[in-house]
Chains A and B, each alone.
Chain A
Amino acid sequence: MVLSGAAYAKPPEPTEAEVHPEAELQPREYRAVVSARRRRRERVIEGLLFLSASGSVVTTALVIIILLEEALQFFRKVPLSTFLTDTQWTPLFYDKHYGILPLVAGTFLTSGIAMLVALPVGLAVAVYLSEFARPATRSIIKPLMELLAGIPTVVYGYIALLMVTPFLQRLLPDVAGFNALSAGIVMGLMILPLVVSLAEDALYGIPTSLRDAAYALGATRLQMVWRVLLPAAAGGISAAFILALSRAVGETMIVAIAAGQVPNLTLDPRNSVETMTAFIVQVSLGDTPHGTMEYRTIFAVGAALFALTSAMNALSLYLKGRFGRFGQ
């Protein structure tokens, strides 16, 4: 079953050949006895298959090229230092400022709140599913998690804007109609299945011998988890957290709908903020002709977003490899 985790950089299960390398030859290592004509035809088809597979490399290359092409045009007019340090983002107004900080602040404010919601709960649920739950309970909770993950983000956006925000406005003072808090909370809920799935995978990789050793020394289940399991799985779990953060940073619809469309450099979640992704949506909805500065800004922001998420994904892979399995 393709779990929510599988779609986000989860490496494939090891093949039988990797687990048992001493076993039989792979099929391709046989030299099948076929006619030359068939062999030629099959070579062609193999070539086509290879082309399909290498599509992923081509796509990545295309993404980088296309983002850079327009972004570099942008940076010819706006120096990188201004882009990174100016505290105002007003490319669509008369007085143009091109500092990305307000957008980055908006992104991290909403994502930060989402992490506060999803990480503790997600880790707790993952530990519960992995160590405590009975198979019957697991078989109910896992499909429910998958259901949560399958809901389109527009629906979450609707919930955030039209249900959570009014509720928060009754609960707290000075909550704006568009605010980072609603978007963050709902985004946390959306990311929860991903955290659970990835964390569970990390825990699954820890050999049972470690658990058994802890039990043999008299630990309770919780003591085993806290003192042995989590430290051993620290690499995988932190990788999971970073990946979830990367997903939150890249999320578009929930924040475009509920967080606002006015860039705002603030730490107060009750305010309206605009994220990098929401800005791209905002400009795309309007009629922005190609070749204008406004058009190029979405690529500049897009490039920044891509760089940010790629860095986080790379960090996640590094953490998984370096502190990988046993934390030793």
Chain B
Amino acid sequence: MKSRSTPDTLFAVVALFFVTLSMLFLLLTLGSVLLDGWPRLDIGFLTGYPSRVATRAGLLPALVGSLALGVLVIVIAVPVGVASAIYLEEYAPRNWATKFIEFNMANLAAVPSIIFGLLGLQLFARYLGLGRGLLAGALTLCMLVLPVIIISSREAIRAVPRSIRDSSLALGASNLQTVWHQVLPVAFPGILTGSILALSRAIGETAPLVALGALTYVPFLPSGLLSEFTALPIQIFNWISRPQEAFHVNAAAGIAVLLVLLLTLNSAAIILRARLQRKLTL
């Protein structure tokens, strides 16, 4: 319905103006960061170790740390998250217990990330004896992204047409067989997308790992699950915190690497989902 009123068009213009303004701000600042960091990006930077000398400092331990954390989070959080989603969608009766579980999940999704770091510090690092290691960090991140995985998996499972379930059950399959052989394959693209988005969230997190005790100056590669580690955002944070301009350039380069990594992940999520969905539509 086209509006003939001037205040209407004025409002639309103002709203669009705000949107463009924020986008422009983002574009300019991000572009500036990338421009600052670009000259610093070279093989030496990507394969080097942190150093007190800015021009010799490198990103390798941070990269390896982030990748290791990412793999661990996927391996731990996705099965648990999908299992929870399956239970909540396919098995849970609509009673107070289920409502309580869902309420808790919604609550956890809104808890500040640093609180999870404190949880990880006491529970994983101290009580479970995992120290400030990779596994403790990964578990902490898992607690953080689990609500995201569960919510997106639930939506994916919910989107599976009822007819598929019904026909499977009509052919004599049990609930579990229906879920495993029919529902999950159809819901897989959505689950995959959700997991990749959760992964990008985990890779970008700094606060919980800092609270856990991930060190900011780590001139070595992590050697095992209990080994101390650093991650990309933490290294960037460390470099930003230094007063020397040269370290800020390093930080900008680190940001460029981080953003490229996240962009790749998100694009992969979108592309994979499109291709898998095309394959599944009959």
Contact = CB atoms under 8 A, between A and B. Distances in A.
Contact of A9 (B110, B166, B233): B110
Contact of B18 (A60, A125, A162, A249): A125
A27 B206 contact: no
B40 interface: no
Contacts of B162: 16, 24
Interface string A1-39: 110001111111101100000001001101011100011
Given A42-B176, A150-B262, A281-B114, 4 more contacts: A16-B162, A151-B26, A158-B255, A222-B5
A80 B222 CA distance: 42
- Closest 5 pairs between A and B when the two form their complex, measured CB to CB: A250-B112, A152-B204, A128-B15, A49-B87, A252-B207
B16 A13 contact: no
Given A49-B91, A192-B22, A252-B113, A153 B204 contact: yes
Contact of A144 (B23, B143, B166): B23
Interface stretch (B44-52, B53-61, B67-75, B78-86): B78-86
A205 B207 CA distance: 35
B83 A52 contact: yes
A110 B13 CA distance: 29
A189 interface: yes
B90 A9 contact: no
A321 to B, nearest CB: 12
A9 B109 contact: yes
Given A7-B147, A154-B233, A2 B110 contact: no
B175 A158 contact: no
B264 interface: no
A56 B146 contact: yes
Interface of B: 1, 3, 5, 7-8, 11-12, 14-16, 18-19, 22-23, 25-26, 29-30, 32-33, 80-81, 83-84, 86-93, 100-102, 104-119, 121-123, 126, 143, 146-148, 150-152, 154-155, 158, 162, 165-166, 169, 172-176, 178, 193-194, 197-198, 200-201, 203-207, 210-213, 216, 233, 236-237, 240-241, 248, 251-252, 255, 258-259, 262, 266
At the interface, is chain B mostly helix, strand, loop or mixed?
helix
Contacts of A45: 176
A75 B105 CA distance: 29
Interface string A128-157: 100011000100010010001011111101
Contacts of B197: 2
Interface string A227-261: 00000000000000001001101111100110000
21 contacts: A2-B148, A6-B148, A6-B152, A13-B158, A28-B91, A42-B175, A56-B108, A59-B104, A70-B122, A124-B18, A152-B206, A158-B240, A158-B251, A253-B207, A284-B210, A290-B126, A298-B211, A299-B118, A302-B115, A302-B118, A317-B106
Contacts of A46: 87, 91, 176
Interface of A: 1-2, 6-13, 15-16, 24, 27-28, 30, 32-34, 38-39, 42, 45-46, 48-50, 52-57, 59-60, 62-63, 66-67, 69-70, 121, 124-125, 127-128, 132-133, 137, 141, 144, 148, 150-155, 157-159, 161-163, 189, 192, 215, 220-222, 243, 246-247, 249-253, 256-257, 277, 280-281, 284-285, 290, 298-299, 302, 305-306, 309-310, 313, 317
B33 A253 contact: no
Nearest to B114: A252
A interface, by DSSP: helix, strand, loop or mixed? Answer: helix
A54 B32 contact: no
A230 B49 CA distance: 55
Residue among B11, B25, B126, B152 facing the most chain A CB atoms (10 A cut-off)? B11
B80 A150 contact: no
Nearest to A123: B15
B25 A12 contact: no
B175 to A, nearest CB: 6
A55 B16 CA distance: 43
B92 to A, nearest CB: 7
Contact of B111 (A16, A50, A252, A306): A306
| Residue in B107, B116, B154, B213 with the greatest tally of chain A CB atoms within 10 Å | B107
Contact of B83 (A49, A162, A247): A49
Contact of A27 (B1, B92, B165, B262): B165
